Amino acid sequence: MRQHHYLAVDLGATSGRTTLATFDGTNITLRELTRFANPMVPIAGHIHWNIVELYNQILCALRLTCREGIEPDSIGIDTWGCDVAYFGSKGNLVSLPYCYRGSHTEGAMEAYFERMSAEELYDRSGIQFMPFNTIFQLDAVNRLGLVNLEGVDKILFIPDALNYMLTGVAATEYTVATTGQIVNAASKSLDSKVLSTAGVKVEQFGKFISPGTVLGELTEQNKHHTGLANTKVVTVAGHDTAAAVAAVPVGTEAAYLSCGTWSLMGIKTDEPIITPQSFAENFTNEGGIDGTIRFLKNICGLWLFERCRAEFTDAPTDVAELVALAGRVDGEFTTLINPDDPSFANPPSMTAAIDAYAERTAQRKPSTPAEYCNCIFRSLAARYREVFALLEQFAGRRLEYLYVIGGGAQNAMLMQLTADAIGRDVVVGVAESTTMGNILMQMRALGHIAATDMERIIKASTNTKIYKPTSYERN
């Protein structure tokens, strides 16, 4: 079998990278090609994404493969969810995409709920409420006059927008669309009533398609610009968490945790779980591959650690050293926080926010970088325990273990604390899960593998580590 090459583009809310994958018929090998920043851009009191620069970075990566004498069979793009770009009828950008952290989302949910109740919106979408969900952003930019939506021809999520710029074909991919709370959970299609309440038409979106669809070829302009003549553009699972979960080789027997800046803990289901309890607990039903549902809970994850670490002036810069110090904190230090408390969303100082929380709850304030980190890791493990227990209730069965992906899986202290907290094995899996899921969907779309081959390939390309619960539980 000849070797196949695929280019995966993974864009996060702070940086992006491109990875060249090679498949030899058994194993996938990955090589990082480029890495670049993705800063938020302040303009006229709002925050935007520079989608033109992201597009340029993708073209640069394609040109680089050509210079190396490699023509990828395909390219696939995954990004964060919720944000969208606006295009005119000639394919021109009407506006740079607004960033989900911008001020336009303030009061957006409440304004929308004046026309459709929260209960009806959740019943229709099954999606948790966050002020930056696409439906609230669309309503806000329309209501505030930031974008003249009547003059917009296409509204496309970020991966779909970049695919459109590469091919000229407008499509709306299922997994990323579900993050916006605009997809009907029952029909798994765009919900016209939800959209019309915000003054938007279904026709303003691209053709609704599933992950693993060959969208088309590069435009003639892009073929000339990159030197590539035959590379296909594939719609992978466009939402980065959906791409990551595609590389999780578990079924209904276990839960998964995507552990990074955000923590997302959930289970795979065939049908959405929409109940009064799931509404009250703000669980979400996001789309997965093959029509599945990712029933999960968002948890404020290592954002807490990252923000604190940026404030430390007398702590090791090496993450592993800092984690080791946190593990040696005296057992008499027992302060815990609720990671999902609103005070930790984006405070000027994370250490000050933790101090204030400790005071409010009559606990001892951390006094060293090691104690702040110890508090964060144990608090996350305690929150994981709560969400894991809720997932078992919703699933109606025992979950045998927790499969962890993402950068936080490399934090041995956090993984062991999590195993102790939930009383189950914690299995650390694919290190590059988002990229791996992206690549696997490209391979499937091109017919190079079948859906049934995915688990075998993941296991052949992955070294797993298991953390077993111990008899002690410090939290």
* Residues tagged active-site: 240
Q: Which residue has the tokens 């993450």?
A: 319
440 phi/psi in degrees, rounded to 5: -60, -40
> 418: closest CA among 376, 362, 378, 358?
378
Q: Which of 332, 344, 410 is nearest to 383 (CA)?
A: 344
Rounded to whole angstroms, the Cα distance separating 460 from 470 reads 29
Q: 176 with 160: CB under 8 angstroms?
A: yes
Q: What angle do CA 319, 323, 326 make, to 5 degrees?
A: 140
What's the rounded Cα separation, in Å, for the pair 132 and 138? 10
**What are 278's strand-pairing partners?**
none
Fill in the amino acid letter for 125: S
State how far Cα 106 lies from the chain centre: 22
Contacts of 225 (CB under 8 A, 6+ apart): 59, 63
Tokens representing 52? 């033109």
Instruction: Match 């950008």 to its residue by tokens.
Output: 93
Nearest-CA neighbor of 206 among 184, 189, 223? 189
